[in-house]
Chain A
């Protein structure tokens, strides 16, 4: 031992760290692949995202076309007909527009459906669910990411710093919790309405962009609290003490030692947040911020089903299919979350 200098020791340690780091990730990947349900769920999600992304290419009816002669039709097995028109997609441009042009060249004016029935204005429910998926998945993804980043960083910092800073940071969260978000939302709409041109020109901020931001900013609060709680109970554990004694810097302890240990709770909370975010989107759309007709989203479709189940007549397909789309997506998300947690959490390895 004595013959080796400190440089030598440092080099060996570095090597060891590298090897271990690699195998940890490989281990995780391997474990995730072994998790049957999670693998299946991930494939389902990817397939769904693909389907929604390429919906404009599929031969279905335009989601917003009103055909009052075909109201309230229950699902039909096979049905092909002419009558599709590119003109029913006002405002579709860019990639979506090009996909629609391509679809027109492939299928002409043919359209399939309505396999999931029609709604109160004779619109094809299936087409609406697919187009709605584009919006809903996007909302879920972006808003959750915003809440994740802000929430984890904030919560971990607050829990770790403790004392006065923790108090202050948590009180800020309390304030934000309490300020009624409806006022915030209405305030934002007004500001945006009045400065629409300026905002779009200088910041590229569209209504949709603001909408994502608002949702993300409402949901990071709970995330921050959950992470803080977890960090609070972890930070007195032996391994943190050890790191501190060894002189690790604050950010290092925070992000190398604490954050990885809250991943499992964060993942679960995340899979719980996405559905709430999607439902919250529906509520906001009702207040006038966010998705506007003729655009659709799953939350809006679910809300359209309000009143469809009543003592006089039950339009089951109004409720069933949107709920199914939402439910299946969320279930898949949960399985993926489970799989990821098992794969990342070394403590569960021996089980």
Chain B
């Protein structure tokens, strides 16, 4: 009988342990609701503006920090931020920023131009290993300092002659430099706290910032809570008291949260429901500054495929045989537009270059011509490479079927998980490969300098000195109209050579409740937290219904 009792005790103790554990883990998880709750796609890699490179990170960092300028949510033009005004020199190489007086960090310490000087120096330091370091390579001697060739920072074109003046001298004119100053990697960080806690200064309670909000709480893959920064220079215009940011990765889960009223804004919706959401007033896709395209490997390791894809007529035939409209209407279905060029529409003053529309007859003729000239009986079987995802598979399957129908081309699909896919793309181990590019700033250059020889994101084997010269000439041109014409010429050139097949222009896929005000649709899908506010009256009324 004693053994029996022992055994029972053993079982009870085990169960008790389980429940105690559950209770402990749950304690302290309760929450009151924030003014605004939104889903952010994923857990941010870091809250250190210098080292990150993603859109979800940007959404949070724009709430915590502020750069020299900030983008206007309606027009995306730079408007005064930490700098209340600026001048550009005649030669377009020197930018002088006038920092606002009397501002302070969230811990009360004064904010001066020395903060920018120190932050940008840190950003360029090799030890920081900033992912966007190339942004400051436009600055005089910036690249040399980053690479460690230059040790003396005083020779870099970044100066703070007095506490309220900040001067940047560029290597050569770069018309888009002002837009870069509102980009999050160039946000200032607080020297004292970074130096005191080099590895943990970005934790709640330690993070000192200069933006509209401060970090109140952060739990990994659970939530980030922001509270209004009472020391922010423009606090009268910040109307949200608190914000909860949820790193929800699954768009289906985000939709469930949205539908049950637990969040006010979701950044993505699942593919299956897009068709049914189109009729809802709170789902309004607008085109934004991104292109979905296929890369073509021009340096294929297989000699047959290399000759085949190396022929421009073949590449043009592939493009002419694609029915992009069908993909947008039947597959992606949420406001995307067929793309016939690489630069998406929406840049003021820029006339995009365009490929010819679908033409199956001409596609077949071109393919026949190319094949007979190459001495091939039939086209080789090509493989479309994509990273494992339902959406990419859908598009690849449709293109597979279109090319088979029009050109009699056999295409295999190959999906690889993310890391392998990136590696295959980088080492040019593919035939055709799914890709996408989202512009960092509203300028054609962000889509065109990709195709220059030696660009880290070319990945097609395309090299053409004439194209490189066009882009470089354009960026050294100060006259905006003339510059845009040159960029147009560059785009036309790359579309003629066709190392890529543009497929569609992205559209936003967010849903936002009508009581979230200050939310302006724009081409970069930027919605600064500072400008948002809640119409409580409307929220109450709609909730009651």
Contact = CB atoms under 8 A, between A and B. Distances in A.
Whether A and B touch (Cβ < 8 Å) is answered with yes
Interface in B249-271: 252, 255-256, 259, 270-271
Nearest to A315: B272
A21 interface: no
A311 B393 CA distance: 24
B259 A311 contact: yes
Contact of B273 (A293, A294, A306, A310): A310
A308 interface: yes
Given A68-B330, A71-B330, A311-B259, A294 B410 contact: no
A191 to B, nearest CB: 12
A349 to B, nearest CB: 32
Interface string A94-109: 0000000000000000
B410 A307 contact: no
B450 interface: no
A68 B405 CA distance: 14
A306 B252 CA distance: 9
B434 to A, nearest CB: 13
B414 interface: yes
B420 A189 contact: yes
B326 A292 contact: no
Given A310-B252, A311-B259, A315-B272, A288 B398 contact: no
A286 interface: yes
A286 B412 contact: no
Interface string B269-289: 011110111000000000000
Interface in B129-178: none
A69 B419 CA distance: 35
Interface string B222-259: 00000000000000000000000000000010011001
A306 B271 CA distance: 11
A184 interface: no
B415 A66 contact: no
Given A287-B388, A287-B417, A292-B412, A308 B272 contact: yes
Interface in A200-257: none
Contact of B272 (A65, A294, A307): A307
A168 interface: no
Q: Which of A120, A186, A312 has the most CB of B within 10 A?
A: A312
B252 A68 contact: no
Interface string A52-81: 000000000000111011011000000000
A4 interface: no
Given A287-B388, A288-B388, A288-B415, A120 B272 contact: yes
B43 to A, nearest CB: 20
A120 B273 CA distance: 11
B255 to A, nearest CB: 7
B226 to A, nearest CB: 28
A121 B412 CA distance: 17
B401 interface: yes
A214 to B, nearest CB: 15
A313 interface: yes
A71 B276 CA distance: 13
A163 interface: no
B536 interface: no
A294 B272 CA distance: 20
A61 B401 CA distance: 15
Contacts of A292: 412-415
Contact of A66 (B272, B398, B412, B414): B398
Contacts of B420: 186, 189-190, 288
B382 to A, nearest CB: 12
Nearest to B385: A288
Contact of B417 (A66, A288, A306): A288
A83 interface: no
Given A68-B331, A312-B277, A293 B416 contact: no
Given A68-B326, A71-B330, A311-B256, A121 B276 contact: no
A65 B252 CA distance: 27
Contact of B397 (A66, A189, A312): A66
B404 A90 contact: yes
B394 interface: yes
A307 B390 CA distance: 11
The 3 closest A-B pairs by CB, nearest first: A68-B330, A312-B273, A307-B272
Given A306-B252, A310-B252, A313-B272, 18 more contacts: A65-B401, A66-B398, A90-B410, A121-B331, A189-B416, A190-B420, A286-B388, A287-B417, A288-B388, A293-B396, A294-B413, A307-B272, A310-B255, A310-B256, A310-B272, A310-B273, A311-B255, A312-B273
Interface of A: 64-66, 68-69, 71-72, 87, 90, 120-121, 186, 189-190, 286-288, 292-294, 304, 306-308, 310-313, 315
